Structure 1
């Protein structure tokens, strides 16, 4: 995990700890439910502001290293979510069968998502043309497989719920190396498939069928996660 990703993860954990501490006060009867919702919503708002500031600093640090020149921050503004969006995250979590777990998912997820969006905004403000994924140390297989690919800045980074991967700026040289590597990998994979197909046609057909099923399942899972994100 890179230094910026560690800082984002720490901020997400801090936001969650604040919300959890408030939840314990609510359970103890020290504050009412309305007070808890209001204070927890404020904690998410503060997390948003800190995430934007952290992303601004993270972009500057990455660009300074990549260009070997001093890059100044642009001042990424804190997000302005739709009215009641943050409050609804807390309300929905309270209504969950496992409020403590749902509050953790909501608090951490909101801070991580804000940091990701703010970082992308910072890259665009600095007119960066390419980016690559920087997965965290516990990244899922899907995120690990996407790491190293250099993408154009207008390509959104795919994320799942609770994803703490970050983007890193990339330059034209890195893009060319990535494209060449992808072409070489594709050629080797194609050669391997042809050899396997020639050796065992029936097994090859079974492999293609299984691969198609896995791809369909992955697409369905991503679509469910996208729809769930839209509802929140």
Structure 2
């Protein structure tokens, strides 16, 4: 091939790369949808989400207790979502399901974010939407949280399925240095049930029909978000008035 042809080919390749880069940057621009019924919150959808069947949403009539929870959350969503973040920290709430295809990667991103930054406050909410296995794992994670070991158990459950029955729950507890009897009792107890009910009520109010979902300040992100985009969103939220 002649040198002139090589230069032309190189220019074409460089042009394609430039166009692709511009398209990638354009695709990564955030498009926010304001929630008129829940100001100042807004929605950002990424598409990388494991959703429940929309035809099944709302078929079950909510109990009076669930309606009361929704009303309390709607009156003060930040209190339910963020659990008293320290002054100056940007609050982030993570909703996850242990059977969700996109949740393990999003979970790792958030864990790494929490380890790398001291200007955020991260709250985890287990939102089991994908059947009995999801509910079983969520109860185990919240029960572990009652013994101060949420994150290691959360990460373990993101890697492996929790089998049904108390034996698997006991083994999980023992593997993390927890009291297995208390773990079994708490997983079936009212405190854990209340936490999960509250997560479902928050999902009702925020319109979360799938996971992962992350609330970064006032922005509700439905779907997985890459780390660099998450950092960009954090910068935008830190520049905005506190909610």
Shared fold (TM-score, shorter chain, > 0.5): no
| Structure with more relative contact order (C-alpha pairs < 8 Å, separation 6 or more) | 2
Whose strand fraction is larger, Structure 1's or Structure 2's? Answer: 2
Whose helix fraction is larger, Structure 1's or Structure 2's? Answer: 1
